[in-house]
Structures are given as C-alpha cells and as structure tokens.
C-alpha cells in the first residue's frame, strides 16, 4: 500500500509540473532521434559537403574490386620479363607503379575499402562500449558511477598512439588487432560525454514519470533515455570513425600495419621506407589527399553536430 501511495504522490507531483512544461512530458516522436540530426546536418553547408565526400568514398569502397584494374600486389612486368618499377601514370597504370611494380591505382582503390572497414568496425565497437559505459554510469549513478569513472580516469591518462604501438607490436600487426586497439583506446572520452548527456536526460520529468508509472529500468533506458542521447552517441561515433582511420593510418605508416592489406598508410609507409617519398609523387599524393579528405569530412560532420547541440554556439 505504502508504495502505491508513493507512486501516486510522485505522479501527481510530476503531473503538476508537466502541465507547465508541456514539451517535457512526452518522449520525442518515433523516428525523431534519427531524422532530426539528419535534417540538422543537411542545413549546414560544410556538413553537407562532408556527407557528400563520405558518401562518394563509401561508394568507391563498396565497388572497389570492380574499379581496381589490377590485383594490388601483382607485379607488372615488361614483355621481356623485367619489373616495371616506378612508372609514371599511363593508360595502363592510371597512377603509375610502385618500386615493386605494383599498380598504384589499384592499391589506392583497395585502400578505400580498408579505410571503411577499419573506420566502420572500430567506430561500432567504440560506440557500443562507450554507450554502455555512459548509460550505466550515468543512469544508475552512485557507486557504479564512481567505479566506472575511476576506470575512465585511468584510461584517459594513457597516451593513445604509444599504447597502440606497444599493443599492436605485442599482439602482432593484423587488422583485427588494430581494430581491437582502437576500441580499447577511444571508448573513454565517449563514455564521459555520453554519461553527462544521460545525467541531464535522467533528470527530465518524463523519465521520472515513466519510472513512477512502473516502467522497468530496461524500458526507461531503451525507450526514453537512449533515443534522446542518440545525438551525442551519433556525434561520438562519427568522430570515432575519423579517429579509427587516423590511428590505422598512423600505425601503418610507422610500419605496424597489417602487411597483408593495402591501406593508404601502408602505401605511404612503403614509399617512405623504400626512399621514394620525395620523387614518386603519383604514389604519395593520392593516398595522402584521400586520407585528408575523408578525415576532414568526418570532422566537418562532427563539428556541425557540436555547433547545433550547443545552444551557446548557435547563431543569434
């Protein structure tokens, strides 16, 4: 009896508040959590440009095997059987060849696919871990929150790339290990950001109301809290794609990339370590520009999100 009285008291109390604050009583509409951020992005011209670049790159990544003209590691030979090394771009090799006679264009095209695999898988892993961390920490609070945030603090003082270097060096340079390291590294900031978003959301009247009406924690989290922090999660996942691609490129450039995969960082590493960085521009420029374009585009999308979600940055 006592508990039901309490419930009715709380709900009555909240009702009186909700009358004044109509926007607060209902959770946003069905697909709003997905459509609102999207329409927001389409209004920002930089973000739009970023979306176009990412879209085109994704298209190339999907159709990479059909676009590439040669197998990436096939050595091109002259009719006499000699290696075609460091050829200038031609109609046979659109972007010339490497010092090992490999077709640069094909390696470059395959690189799109690698970038999206690393970025996509890495960001999904980061997104899941940081969302879980942030949700649990922010929603339940108290002791759980304390423990999880201590862990985050420690994780935050680990230098990113040095950790990645050591971990990949120890575990062995494979794409899976690189993605694992990325997930281990980038959940931490995301967990913090999502946690604070959850904290604000938890205090909203409709969340309290839903709890008072007898909804389970599970229901409240997934039906009410998560859709409303989705914007923040989306922002962090977008940034994570960029971080993942950047980390993979850096590791590959250092020479700790997956040797069986032709990523852009790997191409630059080969050019660098074979001493052709300064002369073979056709080998160096395409992967560099592609990396810059892709990462910048992702940052532009993320920036538009930040600008829109922070009311103090909005234009008056």
Partner 1 sequence: MLVVFIVSTIMFFMFRIVPSDPTVMLVERGISEEARQALLERWGLTGSLWEQYLRYMGGLLVGDFGNSFFYRAPVWDVLLPRIVNTLWIAVPGLLLGALIGATLGMVVGWARRGGAVERGGILIATIIRGTPSFIIGIALLAVFSSWLGWLPGFGMGDSGGATGVMRYLNFNFFIHLILPLLAVIIYFIPENLLLMRSGVVENRTEDYIELVRAKGVSDQRVAWHAGRNSLLPLITWLFPALAETIAGIVVIEIVFSWPGIGRELVLAVTRQDYPVAQAAFFLLAVMIVLANLAADLTYGKLDPRVVYK
DSSP state letter for 100? T
Q: Which residues bind partner 1 (CB under 8 A)?
A: 46, 153-154, 156-163, 165-167, 169-171, 189, 242, 246, 249-250, 253-256, 265, 268, 272, 277-279, 281, 284, 288, 291-292, 294-300, 303, 306, 310, 312-313, 315-316
Minimum gap (Å) between residue 299 Cβ and partner 1: 5
Residue placing its CB nearer to partner 1 in the complex, 47 or 68: 47
Question: Which pair of structure tokens corresponds to residue 164?
Answer: 């990645």
Q: Which of 116, 63, 82, 146 is nearest to 242 (CA)?
A: 116
Question: Which pair of structure tokens corresponds to residue 28?
Answer: 């946003």
Output the 3-class SS for 123-175: HHHHHHHHHHHHHHHHHHCHHHHHHHHHHHHHHHCCCHHHHHHHHHHHHCCCH
| 3-state SS assignment for residue 203 | coil
Residue placing its CB nearer to partner 1 in the complex, 150 or 219: 150
Reading phi first (left if > 0) and then psi (alpha if -120 to 50, else beta), residue 257 is in beta
Minimum gap (Å) between residue 58 Cβ and partner 1: 17
Minimum gap (Å) between residue 228 Cβ and partner 1: 23
Residue placing its CB nearer to partner 1 in the complex, 42 or 313: 313
Minimum gap (Å) between residue 188 Cβ and partner 1: 9
Residue placing its CB nearer to partner 1 in the complex, 39 or 316: 316
Query: CA 153, CA 57: separation in Å to the nearest integer?
Result: 36
Residue placing its CB nearer to partner 1 in the complex, 220 or 290: 290
Minimum gap (Å) between residue 260 Cβ and partner 1: 18
């Amino acid at each position: 009896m006592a508990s039901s009285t309490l419930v009715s008291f709380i709900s009555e109390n909240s009702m009186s508040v909700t009358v004044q604050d109509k926007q607060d009583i209902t959770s946003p509409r069905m697909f709003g959590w997905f459509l609102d951020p999207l329409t927001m992005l389409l209004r920002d011209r930089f973000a739009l440009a970023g979306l176009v670049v990412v879209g085109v790159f994704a298209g190339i990544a999907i159709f990479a095997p059909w676009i590439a003209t040669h197998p990436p590691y096939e050595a091109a030979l002259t009719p006499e059987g000699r290696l075609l090394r460091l050829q200038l771009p031609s109609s046979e090799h659109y972007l010339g060849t490497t010092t090992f006679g490999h077709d640069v264009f094909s390696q470059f095209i395959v690189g799109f696919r690698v970038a999206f695999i690393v970025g996509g898988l890495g960001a999904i892993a980061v997104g899941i871990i940081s969302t879980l961390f942030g949700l649990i920490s922010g929603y339940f609070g108290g002791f759980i929150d304390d423990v999880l945030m201590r862990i985050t603090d420690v994780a935050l003082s680990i230098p990113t790339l040095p950790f990645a270097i050591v971990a990949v060096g120890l575990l062995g340079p494979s794409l899976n290990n690189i993605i694992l390291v990325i997930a281990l590294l980038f959940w931490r900031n995301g967990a913090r950001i999502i946690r604070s978003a959850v904290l604000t959301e938890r205090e909203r009247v409709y969340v309290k109301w839903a709890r008072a009406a007898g909804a389970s924690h599970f229901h409240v989290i997934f039906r009410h809290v998560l859709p409303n922090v989705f914007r923040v999660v989306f922002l962090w996942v977008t940034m994570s794609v960029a971080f993942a691609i950047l980390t993979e490129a850096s590791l590959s450039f250092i020479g700790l990339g997956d040797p069986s995969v032709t990523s852009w960082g790997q191409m630059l590493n080969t050019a660098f370590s074979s001493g052709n960085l300064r002369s073979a521009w056709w080998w160096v420029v395409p992967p560099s520009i592609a990396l810059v374009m892709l990462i910048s585009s992702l940052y532009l999308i993320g920036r538009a999100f930040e600008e829109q979600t922070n009311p103090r940055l909005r234009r008056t």
